[in-house]
Amino acid sequence: MKIIPNERITMRRFDDLHCHFRLNPLLTEVLPYTTRYASRAIAMPNTRPRAILTGKDVIWYRNEIMKALEVSSDSEADFEPLMTIEIRDNTSSKMIEEACRAGAIAGKVYPLGVTTNSDEGLKNFFKPEILDTFWAMQDEGMLLLLHGELDLPRTLVTKRERAFLPILRTLAEKFPELKIVLEHVSSERGINMVERLGDNVAATITAHHLCLTLNDVIGDGIRPHHGCNPMPKDFHDLDALLRAATSGDPKFFLGSDSAPHPKEKKEGAKGSCGVFTAPVLPELLAEIFEKEGKLDRLEDFTSRFGAEFYGLPLNQGTITLVKNKWIVPEQIGSVVPFRAGTELQWRHQ
Question: Binding mask 13-42 vs Zn ion (x if CB under 5 A, - otherwise)?
Answer: ------------------------------
Please check whether residue 183 is in contact with residue 257, taking contact to mean a CB–CB distance below 8 angstroms: yes
Min dist. Cβ of residue 223 to Zn ion (A):
19
- For 111, which DSSP code? B
Q: What distance lies between CA 73 and its chain's CA centroid?
A: 23
CA angle 310, 313, 314 (to 5 degrees): 100
Q: Is 161 in the site for Zn ion (CB under 5 A)?
A: no
| Known catalytic membership, residue 234 | no
Contact region with Zn ion (CB under 5 A), list: 155-163, 197-205, 249-257, 338-346: 249-257
Min dist. Cβ of residue 257 to Zn ion (A):
4
Could you tell me which of 3, 122, 5 has the C-alpha nearest to residue 53? 122
Q: Can you tell me the distance from the alpha carbon of 125 to that of 37, in angstroms, rounded to the nearest whole number?
A: 35
Measured from the CB atom, is 17 or 307 closer to Zn ion?
A: 17
The number of residues that bind Zn ion (CB under 5 A) is: 1
Q: Can you tell me the distance from the alpha carbon of 43 to that of 282, in angstroms, rounded to the nearest whole number?
A: 18
Q: Is 257 in the site for Zn ion (CB under 5 A)?
A: yes
Contact region with Zn ion (CB under 5 A), list: 68-76, 88-96, 172-180, 256-264: 256-264
Measured from the CB atom, is 91 or 116 closer to Zn ion?
A: 116
Choosing from 239, 257, 296, 300, the catalytic residue is 257
Which residues lie closer than 8 Å to 27 by C-beta, 6 or more apart?
A: 21, 64, 65, 68
Measured from the CB atom, is 107 or 136 closer to Zn ion?
A: 107
Measured from the CB atom, is 121 or 299 closer to Zn ion?
A: 121
Q: Evaluate the CA torsion angle 286, 292, 296, 298 in order and state its sign.
A: negative
Residue numbers of the site for Zn ion (CB under 5 A)?
Answer: 257
**Active-site residue set:** 257
